[in-house]
Amino acid sequence: MVFQGFHLFPTFTVEENVAWPLEFLGVRWGEARKRAMAALQHVGIEGSAYRRRPSQLSGGEQQRVAIARALATEPKLLLADEPTGNLDSRTGQAILDLLRLLNARQGLTVVLVTHSTYAATYGHRTVELEDGRIVRDIRAPREPTGRVIPFR
Q: Write the pLDDT tens digit of every residue in 69-113.
A: 999 999 999 999 998 888 888 888 888 988 888 888 888 999 999
Whether 149 has a pLDDT exceeding 80, the answer reads no
Q: What percent of the chain has pLDDT over 70?
A: 93
* Helical (H) or strand (E) element with 95: helix 89-106
Mean pLDDT estimate for the chain: 88
The pTM score is 0.83
Contacts 24+ apart (CB under 8 A), 94-97: 94/44, 95/43, 95/64, 95/67, 96/122
Whether 139 has a pLDDT exceeding 90, the answer reads no
Q: What percent of the chain has pLDDT over 90?
A: 48
Farthest-apart Cα atoms in the chain, separation: 52
When pLDDT is averaged across residues 116-140 and rounded to a whole number, the result is 88
DSSP state of 38: H
pLDDT of residue 11: 96
How many Å is the Cα radius of gyration of the chain?
Answer: 16
pLDDT of residue 144: 61
Neighbours of 76 (CB within 10 A): 9
Whether 2 has a pLDDT exceeding 80, the answer reads yes
pLDDT range class, residue 53, cuts 50, 70, 90: very high
pLDDT of residue 13: 96
The number of angstroms, rounded, from the C-alpha of 17 to the middle of its chain's C-alpha atoms is 15
Task: Spell out the domain ranges in the chain.
Answer: 14-120
Query: Under 8 Å CB-to-CB from 142, ≥6 apart: which residues?
Result: 148, 149
Among 3.40.190.10, 1.20.1300.10, 3.40.50.300, 3.40.50.880, name the CATH number for the domain at 14-120.
3.40.50.300
Of residues 19 and 145, more confidently modeled = 19
